[in-house]
Amino acid sequence: MDILIIIEDNNGKSHRMGLESIAAAQHMSDKLGLSASAMVMGKNADSLASEASAYDLDEVLVLKHDLLNEYSSDGYAEAVKQIIESENPTYILFGHSYQVRDYVPKISAKLMRPFLADSIAIHFDEKNVSLTKQMFNAKLLSDINPSGDAPYLISFQSASFLSDDAKTGSATSREVSVMLDSSMIKTDSEEPFKEASGGVDLTAAELIVSVGRGIGKEENIPMAQELAAALGAELSSSRPVVDSGWLSPSHQVGSSGQSVSPKMYLSLGISGAIQHVVGMKASKNIVAINKDPEAPIFEIADYAVIGDLLEIVPKLTEALQ
Amino acid sequence: MKIAVLVKQVPGSESPLPMVSSQDWLDESQVAYIMNESDNYALEEALQIREKNNDGEVVIISLGPNRIQKVIREALSKGADRAIHIQTDGSYPTDPLVTASLFSETLKDENFDLIFSGLQSDDLGFGQTGVLLGELLNMSTATLAMSTEIIDNKIKVKRELEAGYFQWVTMSLPASISVQSGCNTPRYPSLKGIMGAKKKEINVITPPVMDQNQSIKKIYAPNSAKETVMVEGSVDQIVEKLVNIFRNEIKIT
Ligand SMILES: Cc1cc2nc3c(=O)[nH]c(=O)nc-3n(C[C@H](O)[C@H](O)[C@H](O)COP(=O)(O)OP(=O)(O)OC[C@H]3O[C@@H](n4cnc5c(N)ncnc54)[C@H](O)[C@@H]3O)c2cc1C
Ligand SMILES: Nc1ncnc2c1ncn2[C@@H]1O[C@H](COP(=O)(O)O)[C@@H](O)[C@H]1O
């Protein structure tokens, strides 16, 4: 087996990054002439397998075990490690989800083979691959070469490949098994829960003014509130503003906050880290004010203002009133 | 309770990031360094556990060239007891397995009950060093911690999951926990702390050279895929143009 994709369970359905990984694997198969298979595991393995088998893959491996019914980092890491040892894939692909962050490094340590995490692109030079990764909070990119013997663990950032590009087909399923016992699992997990919500629902907002760390201090928050009021917009923020206690957690946009898609997202002093961008890039019009011309937010902005928000925002509010 | 905290020095978010001519690393002489954001939260979590239990030790572990002693001192001035500096000559390794292996070699005889790390470094951003180290030392691990609680010989961790979900996970010690930003309110060093830090021990260790399993070939600036309209001019001109864009292009009524 050349490429093995691990498809994550999201309540009985494939995690959205699962199909993106299939697209990534097919891209690699085309370029390198390799075969690609997927693996599903856990209590929803059957329904995930029927979803995955509708794609152009060699095989779908189905792994069931009592100790894999609920996710644990120890159980999942050990299971995937054993499958890697028995199936011998060269590349193991994952979507860079929170779950993958949690358990895939353990596989890397068990095998002492590299985990090329959060990659955004893959390049081929003869038979060698290199992976592109964002560094320095997305201000720079780097090309990374894995070295030494296979296998290589690779995860792709959300939307690095498009799920629509995954070619359909029909793959056969095969049951696989691993040896696990409960002493291997050192954690005891409770049910996932949501904090009692309340606060703002941004998902339906037409217009959003969003503040980042560039607002400088808590005393400047009213400046953004006034602009939002003048526009009739909701106020949201990036994570550091919530971490600092300047706005409540329900204001946070991003991978651990809300996902929004307003007609206009006016971003003030937000650098544009991927965990923020995934929550707002579906906005129809992105207007960004940032004093740093290199800020990654400008890569996705429709309208870019390179300037000091503390000077621009009060005047903008005034002009709109 | 013996607690290690991995603290990394990284370029500040407003620092220039000029490249060396070989384009495989930064020209470090022009970079302004700070403590990695999530490591600051990791340190605070460790200090609070020590204070709550009224005993124990918080040890700072950092790997890199001499310049990193600045953040080591900063951590000591916030209240950590001592530090281990794993000294590399140039920069640091760009393979997290090598970094974690050097940490595990250094820490294996210290028998820490807990290791705290940040969930991601703001420079290389591998997002895995704390878990790798925990696994190499055969510890329990958990990531994205939003709060922690010590109960008997266990640690209970509130983990952040995707899309606004959380989950409590309990595990036996020793454990390596990587923390998410926002899990507490990091303190500032006091004057007394800053004075006291000068007397605290920094144990400098020279690590062996290890082969990397991944290496950086090239670093470069991204280019934009989208067509962006630049709104330029004096502040007044910018404001006028923005109002015009809101009304006539985005059509905000
Ligand atoms: C697992 C994980 C989950 C995460 N989840 C989220 C999430 O849900 N949401 C989220 O937002 N982040 C999240 N993050 C954090 C994310 O990686 C970034 O650290 C964060 O988004 C940065 O916020 P920021 O842009 O406000 O701050 P910074 O990156 O510090 O940027 C501040 C910006 O303000 C600009 N600026 C400063 N002063 C001015 C001024 N006077 N005028 C104009 N511009 C100015 C600066 O040039 C800079 O670009 C997560 C990270 C991880 C690892
Ligand atoms: N050279 C280093 N020195 C100290 N701590 C480090 C170093 N590299 C990584 N870490 C720790 O590991 C965490 C995750 O780093 P990374 O895996 O590079 O994203 C950081 O937040 C630090 O706590």
Which tens digits make up the pLDDT trace of A253-287?
999 899 999 999 999 999 999 999 999 999 999 99
Query: Is B240 among the domain residues?
Result: no
**What percentage of chain A carries pLDDT values higher than 90?**
94
Distance CA B206, CA B87 (A): 5
CA of B131 to the centre of ligand 1 (A): 24
Range A51-65 average pLDDT: 97
Range A224-234 average pLDDT: 97
**What's the pLDDT band for B55 if we cut at 50, 70, 90?**
confident
Query: Is B236 among the domain residues?
Result: no
Query: Is B232 among the domain residues?
Result: no
**Does B225 have pLDDT greater than 80?**
no
Residue at token pair 């384009």: B23
Cα distances (Å, whole numbers) of residue B234 to A12, B237, B240? 55, 5, 10
Q: What is the pLDDT of residue B63?
A: 97
Residue B90: domain span? 2-205
Ligand sitting nearest the alpha carbon of B75: 2
- Span B117-154, pLDDT tens digits: 999 999 999 999 999 999 999 999 999 999 999 998 99
Domains A3-184 and A202-320 share a fold: yes
**What's the pLDDT band for A194 if we cut at 50, 70, 90?**
confident
**Does A126 have pLDDT greater than 90?**
no
Q: Which two tokens stand for residue A283?
A: 């906005």
Among candidates B128, B236, B240 on the partner chain, residue whose Cβ is nearest the Cβ of A117 = B128
Q: What is the pLDDT of residue B24?
A: 87
Is domain A202-320 in CATH 2.40.170.20, yes or no?
A: no
Contact check, Cβ <8 Å, A114/B95: yes
Range A208-225 average pLDDT: 98
Mean pLDDT of chain A: 95
Q: How many domains does the structure of chain B reveal?
A: 1
Q: What is the pLDDT of residue B236?
A: 97
**Does B52 have pLDDT greater than 70?**
yes
Å from A212 to nearest chain B CA?
13
Range A158-184 average pLDDT: 96
Among candidates A193, A311, A320 on the partner chain, residue whose Cβ is nearest the Cβ of B235 = A311
Map residue B247 onto helix, strand or coil.
helix
Q: What is the pLDDT of residue A74?
A: 98
Q: Using a 6 Å cutoff on CB, does residue B96 contact ligand 2?
A: yes
Query: Is B8 among the domain residues?
Result: yes
**What's the pLDDT band for A164 if we cut at 50, 70, 90?**
very high
**Does B96 have pLDDT greater than 70?**
yes
Question: Count of A–B CB contacts within 8 Å?
Answer: 229
**Does B164 have pLDDT greater than 90?**
no
CATH class of A3-184: alpha beta
Range A200-226 average pLDDT: 96
Cα nearest neighbour of A119 on chain B: B126
Å from B116 to nearest chain A CA?
15
Lowest mean pLDDT among A74-78, A241-245, B223-227: B223-227
Enumerate the domain spans of chain A: 3-184, 202-320
Mutate to test the pocket of ligand 1, among A215, A252, A276, A312 (most ligand atoms within 8 A of CB): A276
**Residues contacting B247, CB < 8 A, separation 6+:** none
**What's the pLDDT band for B89 if we cut at 50, 70, 90?**
confident
Contact check, Cβ <8 Å, A105/B131: yes
Give Dmax (Cα) for chain B: 68
Mean pLDDT of chain B: 95
Chain B residue numbers with beta carbons less than 8 Å from the beta carbon of A320 are 243, 246
Q: Are A209 and A227 in contact (CB under 8 A)?
A: yes
Range A80-106 average pLDDT: 98
pTM of the entire predicted model: 0.95
Crossing angle of the two packed helices A309-320 and B235-244, in degrees rounded to 10: 50
Q: What is the CATH number of the domain that holds B125?
A: 3.40.50.620
Q: What is the pLDDT of residue A197?
A: 66
Q: Using a 6 Å cutoff on CB, does residue A308 contact ligand 1?
A: yes
Cα nearest neighbour of A118 on chain B: B126
Secondary structure E strands in chain A? 3-6, 9-10, 13-14, 36-41, 59-63, 91-95, 115-125, 128-135, 140-146, 152-156, 172-176, 187-189, 193-194, 207-211, 234-237, 264-268, 285-290, 303-306
Query: Is B225 among the domain residues?
Result: no
Distance CA A140, CA A134 (A): 6
Range B65-89 average pLDDT: 97
Q: Are B219 and B24 in contact (CB under 8 A)?
A: yes
Q: Is the dihedral of CA B176, B180, B184, B189 positive or negative?
A: positive
**What's the pLDDT band for B17 if we cut at 50, 70, 90?**
very high
The amino acid sitting at A128 is: N
**Does B224 have pLDDT greater than 80?**
no
